Amino acid sequence: MRDRNDGPSYGRRVTAAVWFRPSQQNIVFALFAVLFVLFSLFLHGFLTTDNMLTLLQNVAVLGILGLGMAVVVIGRGIDISLVASLAVPPGLVLQMVQNGHSLPYALLTAFALSLAFGLVNGWLIAYAEVPSLFATLATGLFLAGLGQVALFKLDVVQWSPGMNALTVIGQGTIAGLPVPILMFGLTAIAVMLFLRLTRIGTYIYAIGDNPNAARITGIPTRPAIVLQYVLAALVGAFAGLVLAASVNSMPTRIYNSTLIYDVILVVVLGGIGLSGGRGGVLNVVIGTLLIGTMLNAMTIMDVSYSGQNLIKGLVLLVAILADSFVNPRNEETAQQGDI
Amino acid sequence: MNERLVSLRYRYWPDHLVGEILSKRWTETAIPAIVLVIVAAAFSEAIPGFLSAAGLADTARQACEIGFCVFGMSLVIIVGGIDLSIGSIFALTDFCALFCLDVLGWPVWAVIPATLLAGALLGAVNGILIGYFRLRAFITTLITLIVYRAAYDLLIFGHSNQIAAAFPDIPIWNFIGGGTIFGVPSIVLVYAAIAIFGHVFLTRLRPGWHVVAIGGSRRSAFNSGIPVRRTIAQCYVASGFLTALGALFFAARLGTVGGDIGVGLEVTVLTAAILGGISLGGGKGSVAKALIGTLIVLLITNGLTTLSAPGGVNRMVLASILLIAAMIDIRWVKNRNRIISKVYVSPTYHAMPPIPATDPDSGTPFALNDRLRDVTEIGVGRIEAPEDIILDGDDNLYAGSRHGDIIRFFPPDYERMEVYAHIGGQPLGMAFDRNRSLYVCVGGMGLYRITRNRKVEKATDETNRSLRSVNDDSRLRLADDLDIADDGRIFFSEATVRYEMHEWPVDGLEARGNGRIICYDPNTETTRTVLRNLKFPNGVCITSDRQSILFAETWGCTVKRYWFAGPKIGRVETVLDNLPGYPDNINLASDGNYWLALVGMRCPALDLAWRMPGFRRRMAKRLPVDEWLFPNINTGCVVKFDEQGRILESLWDLGGVNHPMITSMREHRGHLYLGGILNNRIGRYRLAHADPDFVHYDRRWGITA
């Protein structure tokens, strides 16, 4: 037994401090854990395997979207057009197959559309220097309008038999796990590898941390920013395919919903600051879990949709309030233009 | 012939106006304004009656309802935040108004404050969270957007039928919703009042400046003592209040509480604000921008609806216009200053006769000599930039310094010195008035007076605004030298109205008549410009007849005489022409003639360049400032001349040992004291054959020692 005052003991205290470091991520995770335990103890039917799988399945699409958003937010941007990316290219796949085109051809077209859309977004933000919030607001509007006018015959594009090869990504189970969860997991791993292991992933963190410094250092900031939005558009389209496959149609009016706000919440609540350069895939997962748990529990408790929103909002407010008390920002540390 | 054309072209074509117009702050709003005009024109072409009175009245009501929200959003953006909850606040306050009126049966005079209070309280929630608890605006208002919307949905679930069933027929309520005063919708009047107040608030009132300062740099605002947290919180309260105001009119006009009221309103409002040119991130914005943005968005959406375009087309057109406008606007705002810096300098044609000879053996009165080599030095290294010097009857020596002080040196050896008065700007020309108050021209500040008990007072810092100038020329930018008439009126020169003091060489590059002579009358405390369009007027001195002044035009290389009284009143005559150098201050000599400082000598290169305005413009556009041609001020001299325009003698320091640079000289008891704006010393030169009792302003005012 070592003396209390020697080195390792000190080291242990440091370790403890790191473990309980009250970052927003940990606070949200703690909140999730508390809610989870409470629901498990007091809510009948919550802690069952079936319910757990339902919970995850319901938030899988939200989680995938959150991953796409995370890439952009880490690079100090925001992509409001993500829901349009989710709705329009996958809707186009369904529509083209319905019209008699082959599935690979339809997928290729949708891929090209997503790619082009991401490039336009990226160009507007990186080269034309339109603020990302505004640029993606407008391009999202444009893409949704394009879908309405030129691409879809009805608001809800139905699944046609030609699509059956894709059913697997939205329905059924592999090794007991529903496929959408697996898709979420796969996307999460892919995005994590991209951010952690590739050079360009590091660039994105650098750009988010300080765009000017990154640029001066010689990082090709503009191409990297374009890549962020291309990735977001592609991830969004993938989420759309998963969604379409799991509900057997593509409700394109989803564009009018407040889904985008949920996506932003998942990302920011998990601890990826909108000022960029912070956070990672784990944050998205934690944010998704918290939202998923709350929504699931409230569904079991039969709370109305508005009631759910109200409670969700209040809980979120508590979470960010707690964060502000634990990690206070002041006039000295605040970054200019960080809204 | 060619040169003649050039001279005519530069004489009549006002090049300098382009830069001056672009430097106006309101040109930042130019692109949104042009977009607005184009959109309005396009739709009135496509839709007959689009801009008719009836159509406009209806558009106006809608525009104002949204316009109130845009004001709120703009305020919050200017302070460096964002308010996404506006749409939900709009819905909740709309419900509040109709609930109070229809279900609770409150009278209208109670409904109005209740609604506005509700809006302010909802905004206060945002304000407290963002201002005091320092939460991030985006995420916080995103959450309150969801919470408020959910609350609204829950509320209308219980009461929408009651409200839908009620048909309140209250005249005042109907008036709010649809009334007009002299044909102007009621809401427009309220909107105009708020807009005018908002403009005054942001541009003229201290709290408004605080808002802009916090948005511009929160840290600096905090460090300079602005109550950052409270101000931010108040902005959100104001945003909620303004939104409630819009909702109140909306409730009075339509009286419904549908499920989709206010859904997506935050997007419309945000679009309007950004399209108007209010930049996200804070610190920039105006009421006019918010107004223009609102109108553009509303015209587009209404126009497309009237054209009954399919929803999708509507969206695509809106999105395209938004993107294009935003892109152009961002380019414009970004490059505006660069364009200004390129076009602001606008040289003009300025031909000079050949330079008179100054060679030692030329036989002209300007012949070079070494007489100033033996000057003694005062305060070497202890004074900086004594542009002018003056001595009083007690032989005290006063000089300006770069640090904004008037320094006093004490006789007899002028070793001891003190700060006589601190003004804050670079003191230039000086003169004593009858009461021995020291009048000083201060660069960048105007005309100041130091009383005998050392009190610094502002005499004047503005003159009458000339109607035809684009730049506001009422402020004095570069008051240079002065003299005082018998009736106490002070005539002083302002070298240029287009540049600041440190930019004086650029004015020389332009060689346009940018300066003026101004008269300040201490008896009536009025200031009037008496002569305009002078080429860098500099030294000023009262002549022997006490009815006119001599003034030097530095870039004109002339000395002229202007009569402010007597039979020749208002006339200007040239006294000295085609000087070999750039004349600066003029002061009286003891023999009744005048001393004139030549700050630098002309050189053929600049003389040639003055005849080639295109060359100088290309230089100003393509080269960095430190590679521009620069008037020579390394070597100058002092000359003595009489009122008939004869040069009597000249004093040089040929080798440039002690006094190469001279901007002013003052004769005093047999000595000539020399000042220079780039010097670190004052020179003292012994004059032979001079009146040993001469004290400039004692003789001027008839005081005998």
**Farthest CA pair distance, chain A:** 78
> A102 burial class (0-12, 13-18, 19+ CB within 10 angstroms)?
exposed
Of A128, A316, A337, the CB nearest to B327: A128
* CB-CB neighbors (< 8 A) of A27 in chain B: none
Predicted local distance difference test score (pLDDT) of residue B46: 80
Q: How far apart are CA B159 and CA B504, in angstroms?
A: 72
Decide: B676 and B691 in contact? Cβ < 8 Å: no
Q: Does B144 touch chain A (CB under 8 A)?
A: yes
Structure token digits, residue A38: 């409470």
> Taking CB atoms and an 8 Å limit, are A336 and B281 in contact across chains?
yes
* CB-CB neighbors (< 8 A) of B137 in chain A: 339
> B145 burial class (0-12, 13-18, 19+ CB within 10 angstroms)?
buried
Q: How far apart are CA B439 and CA B445, in angstroms?
A: 13
AA letter at B589: A
**Judged by CB atoms within 8 Å, which residues 108-137 of B form the interface with A?**
129, 133-137
Decide: B288 and B29 in contact? Cβ < 8 Å: yes
Nearest Cα of chain B lies from the Cα of A128 at a distance, in angstroms, of: 6
ipTM over 0.85: no
Nearest to A68 by CA among A294, A308, A233: A233
Predicted local distance difference test score (pLDDT) of residue B639: 94
* CB-CB neighbors (< 8 A) of A150 in chain B: 312
Predicted local distance difference test score (pLDDT) of residue A266: 87
How are strands ordered across the β-sheet holding B664-668? B376-378, B682-686, B671-675, B664-668
Predicted local distance difference test score (pLDDT) of residue B26: 79
> Taking CB atoms and an 8 Å limit, are A324 and B135 in contact across chains?
yes
Q: Does A258 touch chain B (CB under 8 A)?
A: yes
- CATH number for the region B13-341 comes to 1.10.3470
Structure token digits, residue B438: 């020291």
Closest chain A residue to B155 measured between Cα atoms? Answer: A306
Q: How far apart are CA B220 and CA B644, in angstroms?
A: 59
User: pLDDT for B433-451, tens place per residue?
Assistant: 999 999 999 998 999 999 9
> Taking CB atoms and an 8 Å limit, are A334 and B218 in contact across chains?
yes
AA letter at B543: T
Q: How far apart are CA B438 and CA A334, in angstroms?
A: 50
Residue from A129, A141, A152 to probe the interface with B (highest B Cβ count within 10 Å): A141
Closest chain B residue to A308 measured between Cα atoms? Answer: B150
User: pLDDT for A68-101, tens place per residue?
Assistant: 999 999 998 889 899 999 999 999 999 999 888 8
> Taking CB atoms and an 8 Å limit, are B80 and A337 in contact across chains?
yes
Q: How far apart are CA B324 and CA A221, in angstroms?
A: 23
> Taking CB atoms and an 8 Å limit, are A141 and B147 in contact across chains?
no
Domains of chain A, earliest start first: 23-325 (1.10.3470)
Q: Does A27 touch chain B (CB under 8 A)?
A: no
> Taking CB atoms and an 8 Å limit, are A144 and B315 in contact across chains?
yes
Closest chain B residue to A144 measured between Cα atoms? Answer: B312
Nearest to A271 by CA among A225, A327, A335: A327
* Phi, psi (degrees; rounded to nearest 5) at B389: -130, 155
* CB-CB neighbors (< 8 A) of A332 in chain B: 219, 222
Alpha-carbon distance values, B15 to A107, B472, B515, B516 (Å) = 59, 17, 17, 19
Predicted local distance difference test score (pLDDT) of residue B573: 95
Q: Does A49 touch chain B (CB under 8 A)?
A: no
AA letter at A254: I
Q: How far apart are CA B271 and CA B280, in angstroms?
A: 11
Closest chain B residue to A328 measured between Cα atoms? Answer: B134
Cα dihedral value B123, B126, B131, B135, nearest 10 = -170
- CATH number for the region B371-463+471-700 comes to 2.120.10.30
Nearest to A243 by CA among A261, A263, A228: A263
> Taking CB atoms and an 8 Å limit, are A307 and B330 in contact across chains?
no
Alpha-carbon distance values, B304 to B134, B315, B330, B620 (Å) = 41, 9, 25, 48
Strands (E), B389-525: 389-391, 397-400, 405-409, 417-422, 427-432, 438-442, 446-450, 456-460, 479-484, 490-494, 515-521
Whether the bond between B113 and the residue before it is cis, its omega within 30 degrees of 0, is no
Q: Does B150 touch chain A (CB under 8 A)?
A: yes
Of A148, A313, A321, the CB nearest to B311: A148
Decide: B513 and B493 in contact? Cβ < 8 Å: no
Beta bridge partners of B671: B668, B686
Q: Which residues of B177-209 are buried (b: 16+ CB within 10 A; e: fewer)?
A: bbeeeeeebbbbebbeebbeebbebbeeeeebe
With a cut of 70, list the residues of chain A below it in pLDDT: 1-22, 326-339
Q: Does B326 touch chain A (CB under 8 A)?
A: yes
> Taking CB atoms and an 8 Å limit, are B274 and A131 in contact across chains?
yes
Q: How far apart are CA A38 and CA A35, in angstroms?
A: 5
With a cut of 50, list the residues of chain B below it in pLDDT: none
* CB-CB neighbors (< 8 A) of B140 in chain A: 317, 320
Q: How many CA atoms lie within 13 A of A224 on its CB side?
A: 25
Residue from B79, B148, B218, B229 to probe the interface with A (highest A Cβ count within 10 Å): B218
Q: Does B13 touch chain A (CB under 8 A)?
A: no
* CB-CB neighbors (< 8 A) of A129 in chain B: 330, 334
Decide: B111 and B152 in contact? Cβ < 8 Å: no
* CB-CB neighbors (< 8 A) of A330 in chain B: 134
Supply angle C-alpha A266, A267, A271, rounded to 5.
110
Predicted local distance difference test score (pLDDT) of residue A331: 58
> Taking CB atoms and an 8 Å limit, are A142 and B218 in contact across chains?
no
* CB-CB neighbors (< 8 A) of B150 in chain A: 306-310, 313
User: pLDDT for B561-584, tens place per residue?
Assistant: 999 999 999 999 999 999 999 999
Closest chain B residue to A132 measured between Cα atoms? Answer: B280
Nearest Cα of chain B lies from the Cα of A60 at a distance, in angstroms, of: 21
Of A150, A256, A268, the CB nearest to B139: A268
Q: How far apart are CA A66 and CA B456, in angstroms?
A: 66
Nearest Cα of chain A lies from the Cα of B271 at a distance, in angstroms, of: 7
DSSP helix/strand/coil, B637: strand
User: pLDDT for B398-416, tens place per residue?
Assistant: 999 999 999 999 998 899 9
Nearest Cα of chain B lies from the Cα of A302 at a distance, in angstroms, of: 15
Decide: B257 and B163 in contact? Cβ < 8 Å: yes
DSSP state of A275: T
Three-class SS string for A49-114? Answer: HHHHHHHHHHHHHHHHHHHHHHHHHHCCCCCCCHHHHHHHHHHHHHHHHHCCCCHHHHHHHHHHHH
The ranges assigned to domains in chain B are 13-341, 371-463+471-700
Cα dihedral B494, B500, B502, B504 sign = negative
Q: Any idea which residue has 């230039």 for tokens?
A: B428
Q: How far apart are CA A74 and CA A201, in angstroms?
A: 10
Predicted local distance difference test score (pLDDT) of residue B77: 92
Supply angle C-alpha B473, B474, B478, rounded to 5.
70
Structure token digits, residue B483: 């003299």
Phi-psi region of B182 (alpha: psi -120 to 50; beta: other; left: phi over 0): left
Name the H helices within B255-310. 265-275, 287-306
Of B135, B310, B326, the CB nearest to A320: B135
> Taking CB atoms and an 8 Å limit, are A339 and B81 in contact across chains?
yes
* Phi, psi (degrees; rounded to nearest 5) at B568: -95, 25
Q: How far apart are CA B625 and CA B629, in angstroms?
A: 9
